[in-house]
Amino acid sequence: MAKLLLLEDEVDYRQEIADFLRSEGHQVMEAGSAAEFMPLMDVMDIALIDVGLPDGDGLEVAARLRQYRNKCGIIMLTAQGGVNYKITGLRDGADHYLVKPVRYDELLAHISALERRMGLGGWRLDSVERKLYAPNGHAEVLSEYELKLFELLAAQAGQAVSRRTIANAFGADWLDYDERRLEQIVSRLRRRWRENCPEELPFRTEHGKGYSFCADIEVF
């Protein structure tokens, strides 16, 4: 998962954006000036840079960053929405140029696009918040049983997990367990995912064996 570095001098606005991104499962570092930003360039993957700074020009910071770390991702955040500003920002090294106030769903989509380009996007399971994240940034809240199911699937790294193992993890006695309950849990999950996310869920029924998740998944 990408490490984000947010450069924004307005404290309240910076905190608002950072809190949102953290709620979506991202790691976020914050800087209020170019001076605070520079020492952190080595430990981030994607930079979110405001153009207007108290000690410099965000476009110049982006250009320096691009020269220093060519393969990083750069998103400019600015109140300047003119075409010439956008052209300058993109020409000087930015990957995306967003006009404030930024729509958070749009910002998340641009971050996800950069993660895919950089090979950093992927499936993620947040065990604390009980959320499954798709590579496109969509998050689905899981039930207690769904979370246990995905924790088992993630631990098996693409291998089939038997229905008996799943039932035991649910705290049920396999000899008395009605497998239709598990099938209903899986069916509801698949239906909800299809309705809410265009990204296909790589969740497979292994006939005669159980279930598997056919993609790498990071658990945190």
| pLDDT tens-digit map of 117-129 | 776 767 889 898 8
DSSP 97: E
**Paired tokens of 197:** 């996310």
Q: What span, in angstroms and rounded, lies between the C-alpha atoms of 14 and 7? A: 8
Side chain identity at residue 23, one-letter code: S
- Tell me if 132 sits within 8 A of 150, measured CB to CB: yes
* Max intra-chain CA distance, the chain: 70
- Given a cut of 80, is residue 85 above it in pLDDT? no
- Tell me if 197 sits within 8 A of 138, measured CB to CB: yes
**Paired tokens of 174:** 């396999």
138: alpha, beta or left, given left = phi > 0 and alpha = psi -120 to 50? Answer: beta
Considering the chain, what percentage of its residues have pLDDT values greater than 70? 96
Mean pLDDT of the chain: 89
Question: How far from chain centre, in Å, is Cα 205?
Answer: 26
Considering the chain, what percentage of its residues have pLDDT values greater than 90? 58
CB-neighbour burial class of residue 191 (10 A; exposed 0-12, middle 13-18, buried 19+): exposed
The sheet with strand 217-219 has its strands ordered as 139-141, 131-133, 123-126, 217-219
Using pLDDT thresholds of 50, 70 and 90, give the confidence band for residue 28.
very high
